[in-house]
Amino acid sequence: MKRFSLLLILVLALVAAVGCATATPTAVPPTNAPAPTNAPAPTNAPAPTNAPAPTQAASGCTLRLSTTTSTYDSGLLDAILPDFEQKFNCDVDVVAVGTGQALEIGSKGDADVVLVHARKSEDKFVADGFAKERFDVMYNDFILVGPKDDPAKVKSATTAKEAFKMIADSGASFASRGDKSGTNTKELSVWASAGITPTKEMKWYNALGQGMGETLLTSNEGNFYTLTDRATWLAMTAKLPNLEVVFGGNTIDQNPDKALYNPYGVMAVNPDKFPNVNAAMAANFVKWLVSPETQKMIGEFGKDKFGQALFYPNAAP
C-alpha cells in the first residue's frame, strides 16, 4: 500500500507537470467593470452673497463732506477715502468748493463734516457753535506762479509781501480766485500786508470767482500771476506749460516766507444745532482722518509721482 501510493503520487505529479507545460490555460473572461454611475449633476451653488459694498446703495449710509477744492483737485481724496468707505461701510458724498462756501454749507447743516484751510474762519465756525471742536489734519504751503519771463521780476523778492507789491507796481496781470476760499483769503491778506486793496477798477487784477484748477488754467492761457497751494500746482503742472514757480521755491523747505504755510483742519458739524446730521459717522471720520494710519497715507501721497509729499500730516498724536 505504501509503494502503490507512492507510485500513484509520482504518476499524478508527472501528469500535472506536463499539463502545466503544454495545455493552454483557459482565460477567465473578466467580469465587466460595473458601468460607472453618473455623478449626480452638481447643484448650482447659491449665488454668493456679496459683502456689502461701502456705498450708500449697500448700507444706506452717506457721509456728507464739505471741503476745499485743493483736497479734490490734488487727488488726495481719491487716494484716501476708499479706505474710510471700506472700513465703515459708508459712502462719502464730497462737495469740493472754496473754503468760504464749504463753511457756509456746514453752517446750514447741509454737511456732516468739513475739511478746510482758513484758520480764522475755522475758529469762528467753532465759536459760532457750528462745530464743537477743530482738529489739525495736515499742512502744505502757498506759492506764487507766473509767466516764465517774469515781467514783474518777482523772482528777486524775499517775501510774499514784496512779491505782490512788485506785481502791483509793474501792472502785470494777476488772477485771483475771488471766491472767498482759503487761498483767496490768504491772497487778500498778503495784499493787505503790502498796503494794497485790489479793486475791479485795477485792470491788471482779475477776480475770477473760480476754483484753484480753473484759476491756474486761466492764468496759463492769459500769462497771469496767481497764488496757489503747492499740492494743486504739482498735480496740474503738466497742463500749465506757460507757468512756473516764481516765488516759494520748488519744495516747501525752499519757501522763504513761512507766512505762506497752509494748515488744514477738520470739524464735525454740531448735532446739537443740526439734529439731522450723521453725527456718529462724522465722529468716525474725524477719528479716522487724524489716526496714525491715515496720517501716514496723507504723508506718502504724491511722493511716488512728484518726488515730494503734497501734504504734511500734523494731527496731534
Express each pLDDT in 194-252 by its tens digit: 999 999 899 999 999 999 999 999 999 999 999 999 999 999 999 999 999 999 999 99
Amino acid type, 282:
A
Of 260, 278, 304, the residue at which a domain comes to its end is 260
φ, ψ dihedrals at 26, nearest 5° = -75, 115
Q: CA geometry: angle at 162 spanning 146 and 148, to 5°?
A: 20
Averaged pLDDT for residues 279-300: 98
Longest dimension (CA), the chain: 150
Whether 86 and 173 share a structural domain:
no
Whether 123 and 234 share a structural domain:
no
Residue 98 lies inside a defined structural domain of this protein:
yes
Residue 42 lies inside a defined structural domain of this protein:
no
* Proportion of the chain above pLDDT 70, given as a percent: 81
Whether 111 and 184 share a structural domain:
no
Q: What is the pLDDT of residues 11-34, one digit of tens each?
A: 333 333 333 333 333 333 433 433
Residue 175 has pLDDT above 80, yes or no: yes
Residue 161 lies inside a defined structural domain of this protein:
yes
Whether 255 and 267 share a structural domain:
no
Residue 28 lies inside a defined structural domain of this protein:
no
Residue 51 has pLDDT above 70, yes or no: no
Whether 247 and 201 share a structural domain:
yes
What does the alpha-carbon distance between residue 32 and residue 11 come to, in Å, rounded to a whole number? 40
Whether 107 and 218 share a structural domain:
no
| Total domains present in the chain | 2
Whether 145 and 204 share a structural domain:
yes
Parallel, antiparallel, or unpaired: how do β-strands 225-229 and 62-68 relate?
A: unpaired
Supply the range of the domain harboring residue 82.
Answer: 56-139+262-313
Specify the CATH number for the domain of residue 201: 3.40.190.10
